[in-house]
Amino acid sequence: MNKRYTTWNDYLRDNFGEKVFKVPIDAGFDCPNRDGTVAHGGCTFCSVSGSGDMIVAPEESIPVQVEKEIEFLHQKWPGVKKYIAYFQNFTNTHGPVAVLRERFEQAVDRPDIVGINIGTRPDCLPDDVLDYLSELNERMTVWVELGLQTTYQETSDLINRAHDYQTYLDAVEKLRARGILVCVHLINGLPGETHEMMVENVRRVVEDSDIQGIKLHLLHLMTGTRMQRDFHQGDLQLMAFDDYVNVICDQLEIIPKEISIHRLTGDAPREMLIGPMWSLKKLEVLNAIDAELERRNVFQGDKVC
């Protein structure tokens, strides 16, 4: 391990013996807080592509998307031979299980796909879907990435998540009962959340739920989102570079070492990004986190009781 925290690459190399890449896929799903199932309008931070802004060819069929993503990856990493199908944007279990099966199988039906990561919401995991995921888990590694974003109900309501923390806890319990790996998503910099609240978000999820991975995102303000209006009205303060680095390091110190860190920042297309503009320099952000951990002389999990 070259970092002071357990990276997603560490996990992949330990479990597959070599470098493995995620292949992002747009499977054409919607979200229940967009289509009226539980709410309308979607999360206030979400773009029209549902966090799939970096997918190479979202308009293509699923097999073609997989092929084009692999071709794109090989431009920089030609030696990679194993991949994980990543159903990334919107809610990828929001539909009948027959539809899920038909779409997922199009991606995993090739020998170089060794796993599947499924981005979804905790309120979209009925028993028949869980049973299918359990079946998939017997064939390959299955990760379910649960968008939680915050443990605070007032923030959740403000950003229109339309589910509560207990729903998340129940979903993790059901997934783990079937042996499925769980990665939780949290966003730093949501409206009204202080440094202490962001750290508390992490403390709660690692103590309250049996997770194996965590993604820590920076709130990106993008054009075409409902949150854009809040920013222009002065109701949203974007995080400063140093504040973000400090909160990430404080969060890492309370995450057990066995939990893999899937992300410590995020990506947003330059042409859509309103701010923070420093987030475009992703390598600088990651290097600053490494430097701060070294300055503190701390590692992931050092403050776990």
Give the pLDDT confidence score for residue 50 in this predicted structure.
Answer: 45
Q: How far apart are CA 302 and CA 305, in angstroms?
A: 8
Report the pLDDT value the prediction gives residue 269, as an integer from 0 to 100.
83
Nearest CA to 255 out of 163, 191, 183, 195 is that of 183
Q: What digits encode the pLDDT tens for the residues 199-218? A: 999 999 999 999 999 999 99
pLDDT digits (tens, 9 = 90+) for 79-137: 899 999 999 988 999 999 999 999 999 999 999 999 999 999 999 999 999 999 999 99
Query: What angle do the packed helices 241-253 and 282-296 form, to 10 degrees?
Result: 50
Mean pLDDT confidence for 224-251: 90
Work out the pLDDT band at 228, boundaries 50, 70, 90.
Answer: confident
Query: What is the rounded CA–CA span in Å between residue 56 and residue 86?
Result: 13
Range list of β-strands (E), the chain: 20-25, 82-87, 113-120, 141-149, 181-188, 213-218, 221-222, 260-263, 273-275
301 sits in the region (left: phi over 0; alpha: psi -120 to 50; else beta) called left
Structure tokens at 29: 């799903």
Helix (H, G, I), strand (E, B), or coil: what is residue 262?
A: strand
Q: Alpha-carbon distance 165 to 89, whole Å?
A: 21
Q: Token digits for 45?
A: 């931070």
Spatial contact of 216 and 261, defined as CB atoms under 8 Å apart? yes
pLDDT of residue 55: 64
Cβ atoms of 56 and 72 closer than 8 Å: yes
Tell me the C-alpha distance between 238 and 236, whole Å. Answer: 6
Q: What angle do CA 238, 233, 189 make, to 5 degrees?
A: 20
User: Which residues are CB-neighbours of 83 under 8 A, at least 6 positions away?
Assistant: 20, 21, 22, 23, 66, 70, 112, 113, 114
First to last CA, the chain: 23
Read off the pTM: 0.94
Question: Domains in the chain, please, with CATH?
Answer: 8-296 (3.20.20.70)
Name the pLDDT band for 231 (thresholds 50, 70, 90): confident
